[in-house]
Structure 1
Amino acid sequence: MAMRPLMVAAVLGVATLAGVHAPQAQARAYVDVDVRVAPPPPRYERVRVRPGYVWTPGYWSWNGRRHVWIGGNYVVARPGYAYVGPRWVSYGPAWRFHGGRWVRR
């Protein structure tokens, strides 16, 4: 009879430690929305050189009913990386948006 409480305590202890040691979730959020309306051509934006910063160009965003312009801005440069700007890619009769990202050089 004395083994039963000891066994329950051991099982609870192991379960507790397993919960504490759970690895961090590795989730990547991808949202693919196919839009049947082609985006307008990009707008011209005046860009000035800012040492230590990279210009992220503006892009057309789909709000569910129409395209709206999101203006570009400066972000802090990441040594060893290059910024690839956002773009719309044609997939058959639809268009798919690929957001800007950093890629290792």
Structure 2
Amino acid sequence: MLQRSGPVISAILLVALELVALPTAPPALAQASLNVGIAIGTPPPAPMPEPVPAARPGYVWAPGYWAWQEGRHVWRPGRWLAERPGYRWESDRWHHDHDGWRHDPGHWVRG
């Protein structure tokens, strides 16, 4: 019969607990991602007219925006996002700097 020492069992339990706790990590950790920005010379078109639907309990409306895809602007329609208590949604936006136009992806902000 194979016997395991106390430290080995403790390490296995610690790893298992971390894996179970990961889905309940704070939103800032759960949403960690790598964002590589590029600058383009083409400004986005004016936003498309889009009716804002009536409020929906437990959800936040994320307005549509222009995305840059395969060398052109492509409209991404608005969508409902599950509400995150203690956070507010900061919508996608474009800004101009010395290199050209840059897209700032929508994201959750504490507060």
TM-score by length of 2: 0.67
Structure 1, unaligned runs of 5 or more: 1-16
- Which residue of structure 2 aligns with residue 35 of structure 1? 40
What TM-score comes out, normalization by structure 1 length?
Answer: 0.71
Match of 1:51 in 2: 57
Tell me which amino acid in the other structure corresponds to 1:33.
Answer: I
Letter of the 1:77 counterpart? E
SS at match of 2:56: coil
Instruction: Map residues 1-105 of structure 1 onto 2, 5 A cutoff.
Output: 28-47=33-52, 48-92=54-98, 94-105=100-111
Q: Which runs of 4+ in 1 moved over 3 A?
A: none
Equivalents in 2 of 1:41, 1:81: separation in Å?
Answer: 28
Question: Over residues 22-46 of structure 1, what are the superposed CA-to-partner deviations in whole Å (9 max), with x where a residue is unaligned?
Answer: xxxx974111111100000111211
CA shift at 1:93, angstroms?
Answer: 5.1
Report % sequence identity. Answer: 43
Change (3 A) 1:82 1:59: same
Q: Aligned residue for 1:11?
A: none
* Structure of higher CA gyration radius: 1
Aligned partners of 2:39 and 2:99 also within 8 Å: no
The unaligned stretches of length 5 or more in structure 2 are 1-10, 16-28
Amino acid at match of 1:40: P
AA partner of residue 92 (structure 1): H
